[in-house]
Amino acid sequence: MRERVFILTFIMKSSFCISIKKEVKMNDFLCPKCKEHIRVGDNIIFKVKTTKKQIGLLLLSPQIGNYSSIKHPSFEIKQGDALSFFCPVCNTSLMSDIHPNLALVLMKDENGESYAVYFSQVAGEHSTYKTDGDAVQATGEDAGKYTYFKIGDKFKKYL
């Protein structure tokens, strides 16, 4: 079932209050393997493994270009650590076949359009790529690190 978020706007007029309900559509994120939803509320949920074999949950913002994250304080991640991202539902590795430092998830936008979204698995590296198979939108100050990013049929199998 598609998650819906509503924003209530209250307008004060004379001595009574009018409530206007507007739907705010949000992007859905899915595992490329099991196609299950991995976005819950305002976060995309991942199982993550560090190079020291520590495992924990990492919550990332669903807004492309927003690199905020939430984790338990006991789950230690250091800048520059190469992480491994997994689907929290089927436990499949999300490592892309483009580069071992990039993970892959699927995104359906508010208009129902599908995209492959690649993002860096290196802690602190800000690089995200959204592609529909014909074009790539690169985001983040480190996006130039993967400039060989190619477009083609390889991406279309995920859409």
Question: What are the helix and strand counts (H, E) for the chain?
Answer: 1, 12
- Give the count of domains, the chain: 1
- Does residue 7 lie within any of the structural domains? no
Q: pLDDT tens for residues 53-95?
A: 999 999 999 999 999 999 999 999 999 999 999 999 999 999 9
- Does residue 20 lie within any of the structural domains? no
- Does residue 41 lie within any of the structural domains? yes
- Does residue 123 lie within any of the structural domains? yes
- Does residue 11 lie within any of the structural domains? no
Residue 115 Cα to chain centre, angstroms: 11
Domain with 115 in it? 27-156
Q: How confident is the model at residue 26 (pLDDT cuts 50, 70, 90)?
A: confident
- Does residue 108 lie within any of the structural domains? yes
- For the chain, the average pLDDT equals 83
Secondary structure percentages of the chain, helix, strand, coil, to 5 = 5, 45, 50
